[in-house]
Amino acid sequence: MDTLHLPIYGDLVKVVWFRNSFYGIFETARRNTTELFRKMIAFNPKGGVMEDVFLPKEIQEMTYVDLKVFRDSLFIKDSEFERTNWVLGEYIADFSPSKTRKLPLFEDDQYKIFSECYGEFGATLYFQEQKTGMRYEVGVTCPLVINKIDSEYYVTSSYSLIKIQNPKKLARSPLHFKKRIGSAFTQGIETIFFLPTPFGGDSPLITSLEIDQKLLTVYTDQQKTYLGKIAKNTLNPIYTFPFRFDAYGIEKLGKDQQVATCLFEGNKKGILMIQGKNFHFYRL
């Protein structure tokens, strides 16, 4: 594990990998108000600050912010209402408004896959065919990451793992993003793992990744964090990490690369970078 000493104050809320650097949003409390001040810093894996990115008032006033790398661009999105998108400038560290659009959670040469999460009201996963524009949907729990192995799609959520073998067997969809409740359709999926009591603290899933054409899952319990396989609704560890950690805000950057905000014991923040079979941890 590496330790990065950054000359800034604040709590890391989201990080992505962009232009060979980490771009992280940090929040600090303001005096005499409940509002937070947001700052974005670009820094390299050795802790050297590359850029101090200006965040305009409109981004400061967002309720929740999300970072998304899509087709060589970095977006800041209002993750609660998605009324605005801001894109980082090509040559200067400034964000400017961009056309509001829904960015896919996963994309390949066959489908764009979008997700809409409404918390306790469920979530919807949408598949849109690249060639025909035909659209399909299914109700899921809020997805963390999607992996594709051969022609099958694996959707990992905090308490479930499902497989979609053929998206065309899902329900036809109008691709309506303004709903405020998850889809009621469940046809066309195979449930590999499901935890019926998610608030019991039992082995929440962190992410899944493909290694040697096999799907492996990172998960944690109250004592340890593991890398393992899931079979017959059972978590089977194959490796135990030397320290317990949790992670959130998973950003899948390619077939074998992921980055996330990491939480270590003692509520210490950091970064998890997955590159192929390698796990890199950075403590801030």
Domain match, 215 and 179 both: no
For residue range 192-216, list pLDDT tens digits in order: 999 876 555 566 899 999 999 899 9
- Regarding whether 119 and 58 lie in a shared domain, the answer is no
Q: Are residues 187 and 253 in the same domain?
A: no
Q: Which one of 145, 171, 194 terminates a domain?
A: 194
- My answer on whether 208 and 231 are in the same domain is yes
The answer for residues whose C-beta is within 8 angstroms of residue 48's C-beta and 6 or more apart is none
Are residues 88 and 46 both part of a single domain?
yes
Indicate if 132 and 158 belong to the same structural domain: yes
Same domain assignment for residues 116 and 68 = no
pLDDT of residue 24: 93
Q: Which of 154, 178, 194 is the last residue of a domain?
A: 194
What confidence score (pLDDT) does residue 51 get? 84
**Residue in 141, 127, 128 with CA at minimum distance from that of residue 182:** 141
Quick one: pLDDT at residue 15?
95
Residue where one domain finishes, among candidates 177, 194, 211: 194
Residues 186 and 246 in one domain: no
| Residue-range definition of the domain harbouring residue 260 | 200-284
Instruction: Please tell me the predicted confidence (pLDDT) of residue 250.
Output: 93
* 182 plus 207 within the same structural domain: no
| Residues 94 and 113 occupy one common structural domain | no
pLDDT at 127: 95
Distance CA 261, CA 173 (A): 33
Are residues 160 and 93 part of one domain?
no
- Looking at the structure, do residues 134 and 85 belong to the same domain, yes or no? no
Instruction: Please list the ranges in the chain whose pLDDT falls under 50.
Output: none
pLDDT of residue 203: 63
- Number of independent structural domains in the chain: 3
Q: Whole-angstrom Cα distance, residue 43 to residue 7?
A: 11
Residues 227 and 202: their CA atoms lie apart, in Å, by: 15
Whole-angstrom distance, CA of residue 144 vs CA of residue 197: 18
